[in-house]
Structure 1
Amino acid sequence: MGRLFRFFVIFVSSVLIGFAFNMFLLSHKVLSGGVSGIAMILGLVTSINSGTLIFLLNIPIFILGWMKLGKRFVTISLFSVAVTSISMGIIPVEKISEDPILSSIFGGVIVGFATGLIFRSGSSTGGFDIVGMVLTRKKDLPLGSLIFSMNAIVVFISGFVFNWDLALYTMASIFVTGKTIDAIHTRHIKLTLMIITPKGDEVKDQLLSNLVRGITILDGEGAYTKEKRRVLFTVISRYELAHVKRMIAEVDPQAFVNITQTVDVMGYFRRT
């Protein structure tokens, strides 16, 4: 049920992105950022549907993600991009509001909110999101702010192709999207996990085979039951939490896991 719910969230969020693109942004020739923005420009100056172009332009980026982020992540991201592309082909490009400023802001909020939910579900919307995730493996930077910086190129293209008023609207939309993503998806925050389980070795093997994280193991004993337990300590990023919880549950659904926010980390900590 957890996996089905995750796919449901990704599906609904991807449809929301397609809705926001067509009803708030494209209808005013306001662009999204990154690959989606480039696809929108091509869609506006040609007769090709922007959703189709988004899917095609993401193919080389998915290859990069396959090599750096893993097959499972890219497969789920491909599902998200496919749903968005199909949604943009079905939803009409019509104006909900005649005000381009309001459309830019609300469109940006919807895209950022939906994208943040997709990130928290262990997926991405493709494009610069994947590039940004690859880069944030080395630096603890807010993902939304990093994506906003990379999207500046779309703003300049928009200014030259259309006009600079539309470029500024695009900048406002991308900025709002980035801030909304950072409010929902907080990968740069670190968490400390204390995992208490009788299946300590199995949980350890599961985590080590899927994460690049160190784990400290202590022997423990239940005060009431006197049963032996293994206590595992590890520090992860907020972005990895949903994935780690699923892995622990697969091995021991009854494991006790205490999750606390970490103020800072000293010493070796691989930022992946």
Structure 2
Amino acid sequence: MPEISPPAAPPRTDHTLIDDTQGLAYGSFMAALSVVVLTHLGFVTGQTAGIALLISYATGWDWAWVFFVVNIPFYWVGWKRFGPTFVAKSLFAVTLTSVLAALLPRYLSFSDLNPLLGAIMIGAFTGSGLIALFRHGASLGGIGIVGLYIQDATGFRAGWVQLIVDAAIFAVALFLLDPVAVGWSFLGAVVANLTIAINHRRDRYIV
């Protein structure tokens, strides 16, 4: 009998401009929606978004502007590590997220939101938004870029860099926020990371 060959994999095609625009817009919208829930509940998160939240809580400055400014130094690192296209897409995503996070509270509010449900919502919104951005060649987190840069230069794993920074952010948050809120925030971070780990795998999905 002739050997039966497995079905050929579908040809891979690059994202079009429309694909990228939609993906970056969706990812930015979900990230901004997550920030609205975060700030309503007084929670915190990791990466540059978490740094911006801590600065916002401590100073009263608007998160959207702080987030935009905090990310500026990381664009140079991103340019060196990933090139101008990545930086341009990331700049677009960060700018759009900042704008939406400033505008959405005018049209969306919560009279009562259970913190458990809020933490799950934050994780789901963040995870799905970041997956969309990753798959369209962008990022919201400058810490991840620096982690990869350090990994290339020293061999120290990028994941450990991000973990150390996130641990520091949550440690500082304990001095600024209610410990219970920090605990709920940690749950949201777990949900977000599980969402990304399970659904953003190159060995399982075509990206």
TM bucket, shorter chain: 0.7 to 0.9
Counting only pairs closer than 5 Å after superposition, residues 96-107 of structure 1 correspond to structure 2 as 97-107=112-122
Question: 1:150 offset after TM fit, Å?
Answer: 3.5
Q: Does 1:65 align with 2:83?
A: no
- 1:24-45 superposed Cα distances (whole Å, 9 cap, x missing partner): 2110111121111111122223
Query: In the alignment, is the contact (CA less than 8 A) between 2:147 and 2:158 conserved in 1?
Result: no
Q: Say whether residues 1:21 and 2:29 are aligned partners.
A: no
Matched residue SS, 1:91: helix
More strand as a share of residues: 1
Give deviations 1:214-249, integer Å, cap 9, x for gaps.
xxxxxxxxxxxxxxxxxxxxxxxx8xx75xxxxxxx
In structure 2, the CA distance between the partners of 1:11 and 1:18, relative to structure 1 (3 Å rule), is: same
Aligned residue in 1 for 2:63 = 50
Question: Please, which moves more after superposition, 50-59 or 126-135?
Answer: 126-135
Distance 1:42 1:4, change over 3 A: same
Amino acid at match of 1:5: D
The alignment-based identity, stated in percent, is: 23
CA deviations on 1:145-202 (whole Å, 9 max, x unpaired) are 8745541111111111112112111211112111111223225x4x9xxxxxxxxxxx
In 1, the alpha carbon distance for the partners of 2:21 and 2:111 equals: 28
Asked if the contact 2:124/2:191 (under 8 Å) is kept, the reply is yes
Q: Quick check: 1:8 aligned with 2:22?
A: yes
RMSD of aligned alpha carbons: 2.7
Work out which of the residue numbers 169, 175, 189 in structure 2 matches 1:154: 169
Q: Determine the C-alpha separation between the residues in 1 that align with 2:158 and 2:123.
A: 17
2:185 to 157, 166, 170: 170
Partner of 1:180: 195
1:29-73, CA deviations, whole angstroms, 9 ceiling, x for partnerless residues?
111211111111222232321011011000111111111221111
Once the two structures are superposed, the pairs formed by residues 72-83 of structure 1 within 5 Å of their partners are 72-83=85-96
User: C-alpha displacement at 1:89, in angstroms?
Assistant: 0.8
Q: Which moved more, 1:107-116 or 1:1-10?
A: 1-10
Contact 1:97 1:103 in 2 (8 A): no
Identify which of 79, 99, 110 aligns with 1:95. 110
In 1, the alpha carbon distance for the partners of 2:187 and 2:80 equals 33
Which amino acid in structure 1 is aligned with residue 83 of structure 2? G
More helix by share: 2
C-alpha distance 186-137 of structure 1, shift in aligned 2 (>3 A) = farther
Matched residue type, 2:81? K
Specify the structure having the higher radius of gyration (Cα).
1
Q: Matched residues in 2 for 1:177 and 1:8: separation?
A: 21
Query: How many angstroms apart in 2 are the aligned matches of 1:122 and 1:96?
Result: 37
Residues 79/186 of structure 1: CA separation in 2 closer, same or farther (3 Å cut): same
Quote the Cα distance in structure 1 between the aligned partners of 2:147 and 2:40. Answer: 28
1:86 to 99, 120, 124: 99
Q: Is the 2:48–2:142 Cα contact (8 Å) retained in structure 1?
A: yes
**Alpha-carbon deviation of 1:136?**
6.4
Aligned to 2:11: none
The normalised TM-score by structure 2 is 0.80
